[in-house]
Amino acid sequence: MALNVVALAGGVGGAKLAHGLAEILSPNTLTVIVNTGDDFNHCGLSISPDVDTVTYALAGLAHPQHGWGRAEDTFQALSTLAQLGGPTWFQLGDLDLGLHLFRTGKLRAGMTLTQVTQAVCQAWEVAAKVYPMTDDPVRTMVKTPGGELPFQEYFVARECEPTVEGFRFAGIETAVPAPGVLHAVDQADLVVMCPSNPWVSLDPILLLDGMRISVGQKPVVGVSPIIAGKAVKGPAAAMYADLGIEPSALAVASHYQDLLDGFVMDVQDASLADEVRAYGMKVAVTDTIMRSTEDRVRLARDVLHFVDAEVLG
C-alpha cells in the first residue's frame, strides 16, 4: 500500500504490530514513534527498552518468544553481576549489551537519541523510520501507596506488585517531540495506535507538546492491547483495575475516544463492539493475538483493510 503511516508504539505489543506493518507497507512509508518514558540508566548504561524492542523487531533480531531482547542471546555479563551481588532484575543479554554500550557512548559523545536510533537502524538495515518520541529526558513514575517508583522498578524489579494510584511523567512539561516526529505525523495519511499500554506507553507520546493536536488532525485507528479483560503482555490490565476501571477493550476505546476514528478489537471482545461504536468510532473485530510473524502481518493487513474500507472510506 502507498499509505503514509505513523505508528505510535511502546514495547512488545507495539513492536509486533509495527513489524507487521513494515512487512506490508511500501518502503519509507512507515514511521514508528516510540515511547521513551521507560528509559533509564542501569549501571551507567543508557537503556531505551521500548526503542530497542521496536528496533529488534523491525531488524528481525528480536527474541521470538520473549518479544524483548535478542534472539539467541547469552547472559555471561549477567552471570558476573550475579556472582558479585549486583542487580540482576533487568535482563541484560550480551548481544543486547552491545547496543546499550553503543548508545551510551554516542550519547556521551554528544549525539541525540534520535541520531543514535537512526545509526542503529541504518546498520541493521531497518527500512522503517524509527523515532524516539523525544530526545529530552522523560521518566515515567508510577504512583503507589509506598511512594513513586520509576517505571522499570515498578514493572521489572517489583513485578507490578505495588498498587497503581496514578502516573507522573517527569520532564514531560519541557520535553519536545524529537526532530522529525511532528513532521512525520503531518505527512501521515493515518496514525495507528499500536496495542501498547495506554497509560505508560502511548499517553507519554501524546502528552508531548503539540502531539495530541497533530495526531487529532489525522485519521486515527487504535488496536486494543486488552483482550478478554487481560493484557497480552505487561501491566495494562492491572493498572486499569488498580485505578478502579474494569480492564477491557471498551476502557481502552474510552481512554482515546476523542482521538480515535476506528478501533480494532479481538474476536473475544465482539460483544463490546456496539458500546465502542457508541463512542462515535468505527469498529473492526478480528483475531488480534500475535504469536507469529504471520499473525503480525495478518493483523496489520486487517487494520489497513479496515482503515481503507471504513475509516478513510
Contact region for a copy of itself (CB under 8 A) — 68-76, 143-151, 201-209, 263-271? Answer: 68-76
Confirm or reject binding of residue 112 to a copy of itself (CB under 8 A).
no
Residue 113 is a binding residue for a copy of itself (CB under 8 A): no
Contact 13, 232 (CB under 8 A): yes
Q: Is 118 in the site for a copy of itself (CB under 8 A)?
A: no
Applying CB under 8 A, among 27, 44, 110, 146 the residue interacting with a copy of itself is 44
Q: Does 46 bind a copy of itself (CB under 8 A)?
A: yes
- Compute the least distance from the CB of residue 88 to a copy of itself, in Å: 10
Least separation in angstroms between residue 72's CB and a copy of itself is 10
With binding defined as CB under 8 A, does residue 74 bind a copy of itself?
A: yes
Among 28, 60, 91, 98, which residue sits at the site for a copy of itself (rule: CB under 8 A)?
A: 98
Q: Which is nearer to a copy of itself, 64 or 86 (CB)?
A: 86
Confirm or reject binding of residue 210 to a copy of itself (CB under 8 A). no
Given the rule CB under 8 A, which of 97-105, 131-139, 147-155, 304-312 is the region that contacts a copy of itself?
Answer: 97-105
Distance, CA of 91 to CA of 68 (rounded, Å): 10
Stretch that binds a copy of itself, among 5-13, 92-100, 157-165, 207-215 (CB under 8 A): 92-100
Grid cell digits, residue 215 = 495526531
User: Under the rule (CB under 8 A), what is the footprint of a copy of itself?
Assistant: 41-46, 73-74, 76-81, 83-87, 92-99, 101-102, 104-106, 108, 119-120, 123-124
